[in-house]
Amino acid sequence: MKYFEVSSSKRIAQVSCAIIWCIFAGGPIFGFAALKPFLIKEGVYQNVCIPEEKFQVTDFLHGLEKTLCTEQDLKLNFIFTVSAVLTNVSSLPIGYILDFYGPKVCSLIGSFFLLSSCIILINTKFFLSLDIFDPYLAGFGLLALGGPFTYISSFQLSNSFPINSGTILALLTGAFDASSATFVFYKIINNLFPKFLISDFFKFYLVIPIFIVSVQFLLMEKDSYLQINPSSPDYPTNKFNQSKNQDVNVIVNETTSLLPHTRDNENIPNNSNNNNNNNNSILDDPSGRVTTLSSRLSISSIEGYQRRRSSLVDINRLSRVEENLSPEELLQHSGGLFNIMAEKPLKSQYLSAWFILITLFTVIQMLRLNYFISTINSQYTYLFDSNDKANDLNRIFDILLPLGGIISIPFVGYFLDTYQPVTVLTTLSLLNIVIGVSGIVKNNFFFGILNVSLFVLWRPFFYTTVSDFVGKIFGFLSFGIIYGSIMSFAGIFNYCQKILDVYTHTIFNMNPIPINLILITLTFIISSSLIIFVNYQASSIGKKKLAEF
């Protein structure tokens, strides 16, 4: 449906509700570092320890000494590993569900996962007594699955206010980043009420899935909001009064695909003969220069990029809007590489050096990212040789992690809009290496602060760069399957976290430096390979395309 069919007040309420549920359900599992001390405090997995293997850690909130052992620590870290894997691997099936069943069904599925997670984590003792499955692993795994289902399905709301669509997407992305602070709220509550257990927290958290379901049935529209091209007569001219009374020519219903299934869109339902006219209006240009570019890059691929609203995006990416960029600007911003793989068959895209290198790049970066989040406290306990200092840094990290994504939103968007892919990838890789080096400096709290500060800013930069790169190189008609595949591969390889964790605990006696050096080396090799390849392509093929104008 078009935005002007719904009153402004109702659309504001819809967007507000989506932001609220994204704050609490978008990605709370990424705040696992804040929750882990309380899992230790409640004795989760303590049964796997034997007395001679136990070592003491400080409950930094209450000054109590708690016991922990290697196997217990590994099992706790494995909760986050599995959750991170599920979050990333779910990108691909979420895209298909959105394509065939729409955002409402996707959001309701996410609510079911969140509700199931709450039920399991509230009744962990009961499920432990049944000895059928691990309730902690299942509970937090379902929590990790529910997040992207509810978060990604809300993106279509950006079309409810066309002029402010970028702002709405930025708010949703910021809400997702803020969701990692969910367990920080629990930490604050537990500090005030020490008897307030994790199971008690999830009794209150039940409100979130109930809220989402209620909003879906009582407030959200049956149809998805249709994106309006800026050159369309339906596009609002006054951002303070985005409402119109016009006949509706195009209706997008619950089963309308958010991601095109074919390059010519032949299988996408079309409820009006005027639909194509509206969509093509964005390419109208009296000078004929757009038509010339279209013959080289494909009109459909340009349209797909200019009105991009893919349902498949990472839970931490910044969704940016570039509808007003001319085809020439799109080509310039990509260094002449815009849609270079868009016209290739899907098999050729998968077998290309572009796909292989960006996948390897994403795998190693995400492995480092999630390994750091799950082991930050144990790493710095060794590096500082002080549990108290490690806990102080952990507290700072818990606060900075959600703030980093929110603060970096405008800067990341500007950087990606201003600089070409080679510059972006080089900056991202250099920043990652600086983070890696600062993360192996011993007995220096300043470098610890520097490490976590840069990390929380680099994280959203990384996620956004990958999605932006895929969109520019592969085009947004195949964005869903390509981006989803990359994130799924990265998620599968995130199981290597467990191997790294085991080696750190056993072979290296809790010393994180060897593992980090290995990861830094792999990052340098893979990043350098990708940057050299992209630079070569931009220097040869890209310059030829730009010269044709």
Is pLDDT at 385 greater than 70 in this prediction?
yes
How far is the C-alpha of 480 from the C-alpha of 495, rounded, in Å?
A: 23
List Cβ neighbours of 129 (8 Å cut-off, separation of 6 or more): none
Tokens of 27: 């990605």
Mean pLDDT across 449-477: 85
User: Bridge-partner residues for 58, per DSSP?
Assistant: 65
List Cβ neighbours of 521 (8 Å cut-off, separation of 6 or more): none
Residue 259: the pLDDT is 41
Closest C-alpha among 252, 301, 319, 340 to residue 478:
301
Closest C-alpha among 212, 242, 249 to residue 1:
249
Is pLDDT at 339 greater than 80 in this prediction?
no
How far is the C-alpha of 87 from the C-alpha of 280, rounded, in Å?
A: 36
Mean pLDDT across 467-479: 76
* Percentage of the chain lying above the pLDDT 90 cut: 30
Alpha carbon distance, N-terminus to C-terminus of the chain:
38
* pLDDT tens string 278-291: 333 333 333 333 33
Write the DSSP assignment of 66-109 as a string of letters: EEE-HHHHHHHHHHHHHHHHHHHHTHHHHHHHHHHHHHHHHHHH
Is pLDDT at 265 greater than 80 in this prediction?
no
Closest C-alpha among 292, 176, 303, 168 to residue 232:
303
Residue 306: the pLDDT is 41
Residue 447: the pLDDT is 94
Residue 103: the pLDDT is 80
Tokens 């989506």 correspond to 18
Is pLDDT at 90 greater than 90 in this prediction?
no
Is pLDDT at 383 greater than 80 in this prediction?
yes
Summary mean pLDDT of the chain: 76
**Model confidence band, residue 545 (pLDDT cutoffs 50, 70, 90):** low
Reported pTM: 0.71
Mean pLDDT across 130-145: 93
User: Bridge-partner residues for 65, per DSSP?
Assistant: 58
Mean pLDDT across 478-487: 79
Residue 546: the pLDDT is 52
**Model confidence band, residue 73 (pLDDT cutoffs 50, 70, 90):** confident
Tokens 């592969």 correspond to 474
* Mean pLDDT lowest among 14-23, 63-72, 172-181, 477-486: 63-72
Tokens 């894997």 correspond to 85
Residue 475: the pLDDT is 73
* pLDDT tens string 228-243: 544 455 545 554 445 5
Tokens of 202: 């999830």
Residue 380: the pLDDT is 95
Is pLDDT at 356 greater than 60 in this prediction?
yes
Higher pLDDT among residues 249 and 180, named by residue: 180
Closest C-alpha among 208, 44, 223 to residue 113:
208
Residue 413: the pLDDT is 73
How far is the C-alpha of 306 from the C-alpha of 327, rounded, in Å?
A: 9
Residue 448: the pLDDT is 94
Residue 191: the pLDDT is 85
* Mean pLDDT lowest among 228-237, 317-326, 492-501: 317-326
How far is the C-alpha of 506 from the C-alpha of 371, rounded, in Å?
A: 16
How far is the C-alpha of 411 from the C-alpha of 408, rounded, in Å?
A: 5
- Residue 109 — left, alpha, or beta (φ > 0 → left; ψ -120 to 50 → alpha)? alpha
List Cβ neighbours of 240 (8 Å cut-off, separation of 6 or more): none
**Model confidence band, residue 511 (pLDDT cutoffs 50, 70, 90):** very high
Tokens of 242: 């985005």
Tokens of 293: 């570019």
**Model confidence band, residue 226 (pLDDT cutoffs 50, 70, 90):** low
Higher pLDDT among residues 444 and 9, named by residue: 444
Q: How distant is the alpha carbon of residue 452 from its chain centre?
A: 19
Is pLDDT at 89 greater than 50 in this prediction?
yes
Is pLDDT at 148 greater than 50 in this prediction?
yes
Vertex 84: Cα angle to 81 and 88 (nearest 5): 140
* pLDDT tens string 406-434: 788 778 777 877 788 899 999 999 999 99
Residue 2: the pLDDT is 63
List Cβ neighbours of 389 (8 Å cut-off, separation of 6 or more): 380, 445, 448
Whether 108 contacts 220, CB under 8 Å:
no
Residue 539: the pLDDT is 82
Tokens 């240009």 correspond to 285
How far from 438 is each of 301, 362, 425, 450, CA to CA, in Å?
Answer: 42, 21, 20, 7
**Model confidence band, residue 455 (pLDDT cutoffs 50, 70, 90):** very high
Q: Which one of 3.60.10.10, 3.40.50.10470, 1.20.1250.20, 3.40.50.300 gives the CATH number of domain 1-228?
A: 1.20.1250.20
Is pLDDT at 443 greater than 90 in this prediction?
yes
Is pLDDT at 123 greater than 70 in this prediction?
yes
**Model confidence band, residue 49 (pLDDT cutoffs 50, 70, 90):** confident
Closest C-alpha among 467, 432, 471 to residue 317:
467
The ranges of the chain annotated as CATH 1.20.1250.20 are 1-228
Q: Look up residue 59 and give its DSSP letter.
A: E
Burial of 247 (0-12, 13-18, 19+ CB in 10 A): exposed
How far from 211 is each of 121, 122, 510, 543, CA to CA, in Å?
Answer: 19, 18, 43, 52
Residue 328: the pLDDT is 56
The CB-side HSE value for 435 (13 A sphere, CA atoms) comes to 22
Does domain 298-549 fall under CATH 1.20.1250? My reply is yes
